[in-house]
Each structure stands twice: as structure tokens, then as C-alpha cells.
């Protein structure tokens, strides 16, 4: 039985990847951070009681900022594959926590590679590094591929640039099977609540159910190449199954404005939204509403701009060219953007119907707008 070790197992991708690897018959080990509250909601459905026999799912306390625990866990687990997904992954927040982001997203990657090397496991263990389309940042004007040069535009992207190159360097210097997946944005019902797609689908559900009036967003002019996380974790696995270690761009090849994602998400509940005004005065207003389950008033302002969501340096457009992955890995996404939006909006409607019931019975339900 193959063994996989996943850092960032409690995150969006970690949860889907763990599920996929368990289905494929792997023994799955994950590193979770100590937290003052439970932080395993995304993986609770695959949790196995360690007191049972034949357990295939194991969690270890650890942190990418701590070399000693990384070395100990890798030594204990002896993984065939390591997926390094752990990161401070929020671009806007990386401007507030630049040094911590460098420690975890940059040096954290080195800690994994160096642990495998020091433990003499370079022939046994394959390593996947979660690289990102944010590496392209300021490179605009054409689709971005494995050959496009990088121009990071945030402390997050700069830290990930180090992670990218140290992975390439260890592959070349020590002949390690270490690969970068350069993944473009991928979303799902498990997406963190403060990334723009999930923030929008949560707001659409809450506005439709009468729990919230409007949502405040930042730059609506940005364009992103959005796929479904379920498709993207499949690509991660494929990258580690090749004969030779290589880096791959994973993307859909389509890009969409944030504004259009908002419209698509409202359309899922039968609400048509139009945008008017410019810059910080832009607003999204309901022009028609056809579903009696979501009675939103025509003329209601449902989107407003709050400058605090703007970034000091923005990445205006991301558009990936996944040709190499489609030909060499035979990877093909199953979800298009419409199916992704549907999945997210319907999951959030189901989630917030519970809050609606609580509010109706007199309980105060808090919502954080970040
Ligand atoms: P999430 O933010 O959902 O998950 C990040 C995970 O990393 C969580 O499990 C988090 O733990 C963990 N983590 C954070 N800090 C540390 C630390 N110091 N030590 C150990 N673990 C830590 O991210 P995603 O699942 O969306 O992304 C997975 C990876 O892929 C990340 O590296 C991200 O940067 C990268 N990426 C993501 C893309 C996307 O569109 N989703 C695109 C390209 C790259 P906790 O739950 O305790 O916070
Ligand atoms: P991104 O994702 O920065 O691309 O990083 P995010 O969803 O945060 O932003 C996408 C774009 O939307 C604009 N935007 C807003 N963003 C947020 N979070 N909140 C808002 O209110 C808002 N309004 C507009 C942003 O300015 C940006 O242009 C994600 C993360 O998963 C990274 O870890 C990963 O590496 C990249 O995707 C690929």
C-alpha cells in the first residue's frame, strides 16, 4: 500500500486530495496545526478512530515553520509521496504578514525537501510542491504557460517563487523526484470563506435567504481562470505518477471578470444583477428577481465597493495554457465555470438555510464579512 503525506490537509485542496488518495487505496497521513478550536471540519467525514484496526487515515500535529517536527514526521511515516499544500495562502493577507508568509510558504518548502534529503529518502519519496499562477503576477497580455517568465506581485507570490525554484534546484542538484504544479485559481464549496468566489456565493445565498442585504467587494476588474478543486487535485496526483519529474500548469484556459462571477452566482438563484457607476462608486443592483424561494427586491443594492479589499499591487489578469497537462498527463477538467458556480451556490444555500431556521426561532447568527 502506498503512503502519502499531505501538509495543509485541513485546507480545501488537502481535504479533496485526501479523499482521492483514500479512494485510490493509499494510506494517507496529514499534518495539522494545533489550534485552540477544532480545525478539521473539511476532513471530519473521512476521519478514522486511531483505536480501530486497519486505519488508513492518520493526522499528525506539526507546522511548516518547525523543521524538527517535519523531519520527525517524515521519518516516522516513510511516505512514498509528499504533497506540500500547507501555506499562508491568502494574497491580500500576505501584505499584512509578509515575514510569516515567507517562513511558511518559502522556507517551509525547503524544510520538506531538506528533510527528505537528510533522511536519505531521495530515491523513495516523490514531492509535489503547490506552486501558483500568482508567480506570473505582472506578466500580462497572453496566456501563461510553463515557459512564461515570472513576475510576482505580492509577498505571497514572492515566497512561492522561492518554493518553486528550490524545488527545481533540489530536483537538479540531488536528482530528486520533485515537481511543481503551477495551479491557477480553483474553487469549491470547501473554498476558504474570504477568497472572492466563496465570499460571493455565501453572500448570494444569504442575500437570497434574507439574512444579509449586500456584500462589500474590492477590485471587480480583475480576471481569473477558475476551475474546480476536485479536478485540480486529480492533476496533482497525475503529476507524481509520471516517469520523469516535471512542472505543469493546471488551468482551464478561460478567464472571467469578478463582476461576471457575481452575475452568474446571482443568476443561480433567479436574480439578475446589473452594475452601474465607476471605481469605488460602482454598485450592483437587482434588475429582476424570478424565484419566489429567494424574494430579493428589484432595485436593491446587493454589491458595494470597499477599498480595504484592494491590494497594494494587484494581479489584473490570469489565464493559463494547460496544453502540456492535457497532452502529457491526459488531464481534462470535468467542471466548467457554470457547473462550479452551481455547485458552490447550491452548497451555500443549503448551509445558510440552517441559519435561516435559527434566526426564525430567535437566535442571533453572526456572519463575518472579511
Ligand atoms: P487553504 O488556505 O484552504 O489551506 C491551507 C492549508 O495550509 C490549511 O490546511 C492550513 O491549516 C495549512 N497551513 C497554513 N499555515 C501552515 C503552517 N504554518 N504549517 C502547516 N500548515 C499550514 O489553501 P488551498 O487548499 O486553497 O491551497 C492549497 C495550496 O495550494 C496552498 O499552498 C496554496 O497556496 C496553493 N495554491 C492554491 C490555489 C487555489 O486556487 N486554491 C492555486 C494555486 C496554489 P489551517 O487549516 O490550520 O489554517
Ligand atoms: P487570489 O484569490 O488572490 O487570486 O489567490 P482571491 O479570491 O483572494 O482574489 C481573486 C481576485 O478577486 C479580487 N477581489 C477580491 N478578493 C477577495 N479575496 N475579497 C474581495 O472582497 C475581493 N474583491 C475583489 C482580488 O483583488 C483578486 O484580483 C488565490 C489563492 O488561492 C492563492 O493561494 C492562489 O495561489 C491563487 O488563487 C492562484
Protein residues whose CB sits closer than 6 Å to any atom of ligand 2: 89, 91-92, 132-134, 184-185, 194-196, 199, 217-219, 222, 224, 258, 309, 311, 314
ipTM of the complex in this document: 0.99
Catalytic residue among 19, 27, 81, 134: 134
Give nearest CA residue, ligand 1 atom 45: 10
In the reported structure, the alpha carbon of residue 130 is separated from the centroid of ligand 1 by a whole-number distance in angstroms of 9
CATH class of 3-183: alpha beta
At 369 the pLDDT is 60
* 174 a catalytic residue: no
C-alpha cell, 309: 479589499
What per-residue confidence (pLDDT) applies to 362? 87
Spell out the SS3 assignment of the chain.
CCEEEEECCCCHHHHHHHHHHHHCCCEEEEEECCCCCCCCHHHHHHCCCCCCCCCCEEEEECCCCCHHHHHHHHHHHCCCEEEECCCCCCHHHHCCCHHHHHHHHHHHHHHHHHHHHHCCCCCCCEEEEEEEHHHCCCCCCCCECCCCCCCCCCHHHHHHHHHHHHHHHHHHHHCCCEEEEEECCEECCCCCCCCHHHHHHHHHHHHHCCCCCCEEECCCCCEECCEEHHHHHHHHHHHCCCCCCCCEEECCCCCEEHHHHHHHHHHCCCEEEEEECCHHHCEEEEEEECCCCCCCCCCCEEEEECHHHCCCCCCCECCECCHHHHHHHCCCCCCCHHHHHHHHHHHHHHHHHHHHHHHHCCCCCCCCCC
CB 180 less than 6 A from any atom of ligand 1: no
Distance 134 CA to ligand 1 centre (A): 14
Q: What per-residue confidence (pLDDT) applies to 360?
A: 86
pTM above 0.90, yes or no: yes
Q: Is 8 in the pocket of ligand 1 (CB under 6 A)?
A: yes
132 catalytic residue (yes or no): yes
Q: Is the CB of 11 under 6 A from ligand 1?
A: yes
Residue 368 has a pLDDT of 64
Which parts of the chain have pLDDT scores under 70? Answer: 368-370
Q: What is the pLDDT of residues 302-328, one digit of tens each?
A: 999 999 999 999 999 999 999 999 999
The domain spans of the chain are 3-183, 196-223+257-315+337-360
Query: Is the C-beta atom of 63 inside 6 A of ligand 1?
Result: yes
pLDDT, one tens digit per residue, over 291-304 is 999 999 999 999 99
Q: Whose CA is nearest to atom 26 of ligand 2?
A: 219
For a ligand 2 pocket test, name from 8, 157, 158, 185 the mutation site with the most ligand atoms within 8 angstroms of its C-beta: 185
CB 154 near ligand 1, within 6 Å: no
What CATH architecture is 196-223+257-315+337-360?
Alpha-Beta Complex (3.90)
Amino acid at each position: 500500500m502506498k503512503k502519502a503525506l499531505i501538509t495543509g490537509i485541513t485546507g480545501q485542496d488537502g481535504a479533496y486530495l485526501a479523499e482521492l488518495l483514500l479512494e485510490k487505496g493509499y494510506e494517507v497521513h496529514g499534518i495539522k496545526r494545533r489550534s485552540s478550536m477544532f480545525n478539521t471540519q473539511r476532513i471530519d467525514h473521512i476521519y478514522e478512530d486511531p483505536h480501530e484496526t486497519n486505519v488508513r487515515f492518520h493526522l499528525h500535529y506539526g507546522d511548516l515553520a518547525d523543521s524538527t517536527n517535519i523531519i520527525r514526521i517524515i521519518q516516522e511515516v516513510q511516505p512514498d509521496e509528499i504533497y506540500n499544500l500547507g501555506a499562508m495562502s491568502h494574497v491580500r493577507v500576505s501584505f499584512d504578514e509578509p515575514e510569516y508568509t515567507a517562513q511558511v510558504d518559502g522556507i517551509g518548502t525547503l524544510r520538506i525537501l531538506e528533510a527528505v534529503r537528510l533522511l536519505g529518502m531521495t530515491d523513495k519519496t516523490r514531492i509535489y510542491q503547490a506552486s501558483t499562477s500568482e508567480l506570473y503576477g505582472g506578466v500580462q497580455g497572453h496566456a501563461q504557460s510553463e515557459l512564461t517568465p515570472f513576475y510576482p506581485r505580492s509577498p505571497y507570490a514572492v515566497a512561492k517563487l522561492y518554493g518553486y525554484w528550490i524545488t527545481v534546484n533540489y530536483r537538479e542538484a540531488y536528482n530528486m523526484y520533485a515537481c511543481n504544479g503551477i495551479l491557477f485559481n480553483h474553487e469549491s464549496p470547501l473554498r476558504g470563506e474570504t477568497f472572492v468566489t466563496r465570499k460571493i456565493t455565501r453572500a448570494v445565498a444569504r442575500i437570497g435567504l434574507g439574512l444579509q442585504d449586500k456584500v462589500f467587494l474590492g477590485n471587480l476588474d480583475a480576471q481569473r481562470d477558475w476551475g474546480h478543486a476536485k479536478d485540480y487535485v486529480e492533476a496533482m496526483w497525475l503529476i507524481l505518477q509520471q516517469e520523469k519529474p516535471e512542472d505543469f500548469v493546471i488551468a482551464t484556459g478561460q478567464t472571467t471578470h469578478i463582476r461576471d462571477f457575481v452575475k452568474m452566482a446571482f443568476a443561480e438563484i433567479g436574480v439578475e444583477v446589473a452594475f452601474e457607476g465607476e471605481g469605488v462608486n460602482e454598485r450592483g443592483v437587482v434588475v429582476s428577481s424570478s424565484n419566489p424561494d429567494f424574494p430579493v427586491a428589484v432595485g436593491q443594492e446587493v454589491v458595494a465597493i470597499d477599498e480595504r479589499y484592494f491590494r497594494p499591487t494587484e494581479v489584473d489578469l490570469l489565464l493559463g495554457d494547460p496544453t502540456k497537462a492535457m497532452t502529457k498527463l491526459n488531464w481534462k477538467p470535468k467542471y466548467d465555470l457554470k457547473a462550479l458556480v452551481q455547485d458552490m451556490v447550491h452548497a451555500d444555500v443549503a448551509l445558510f438555510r440552517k441559519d435561516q431556521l435559527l434566526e426564525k426561532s430567535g437566535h442571533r447568527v453572526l456572519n463575518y464579512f472579511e
